[in-house]
Structure 1
């Protein structure tokens, strides 16, 4: 086999390793809620999709996971990119989604619009990936719950005034409810449904 012929396989291997690294980073974020975890090096993605959201999606997607894109992200270049990189099934409503990607907090539907899971299968809920302007510098919220030894404070910018009230209702449904991962393109912070506010 020539070196030229082996390049696509090598590139695919690099992409797979990057996806695995991002997945492990995501798990750290969910294991330590409220902690900002630095993202590894990210591959480029077509606009308006940022590399961070792209990496998180590719780390989570499989052929069974329905993906919903917010209107600001749902365009031909983004769909073509994701189809090229992953086995992806697009869905038309947030409720159908196993994974939802939102590129701007202004495009975030009400949390009740996503699937909360089912009593027999809570894991069938939606995992929401949200790009925010920054993970620091916003109103500080003290968090409590599994994975937080004493307390954790998260201060993302750009969330709506009613977001934390919605999150309290989401937490109250535990073990049902959505899980949320926020990113500012540099790091990520996980908010599993098991975590509430002090």
Structure 2
């Protein structure tokens, strides 16, 4: 059977799409299988991770037992002999999400629930003593301005900080990626500047 350039290109695109969705399925399956149960040991402590594709673990080594920052945190805690507690990472990142889908929006439909509100309905998320926010890198692909991103990030952090004595860490947005054009990279640089200003307050 002979293949022309067009058919080869179509097959390559089909294969790339198949690999993409298989990778996403694997990330979902690992999180479903390894998701920590509500803690019942006083030595256990929980770190909540919320955000977009970066939080979800997209782009990490597909062979990792727990992809993304959640896996790195748990492995680092286990490797440190001086750490006597048990640290578990609850990953609630959502692939492709933006800061607007995480933060409550004014004028939203009655009864609609933002991702941060939905996340905190889970007792495993509510009991977290530390929250890490990796959010905003997808905003450059939408019509959200850097200022709107910062407004949403502030709302998410404030909601997370309202419960108990939880520590909230807001992470800078990646600025270099082959999938970002120049304008999107510049927008993320500005978003990081706004994040730095917010963290100083």
TM-score band w.r.t. shorter chain: under 0.3
Q: Which is strand-richer, 1 or 2?
A: 1
Query: TM-score scaled to structure 1, two decimals?
Result: 0.28
Q: Which is helix-richer, 1 or 2?
A: 2
| Higher relative contact order (Cα pairs below 8 Å, separated by 6+ residues) | 1
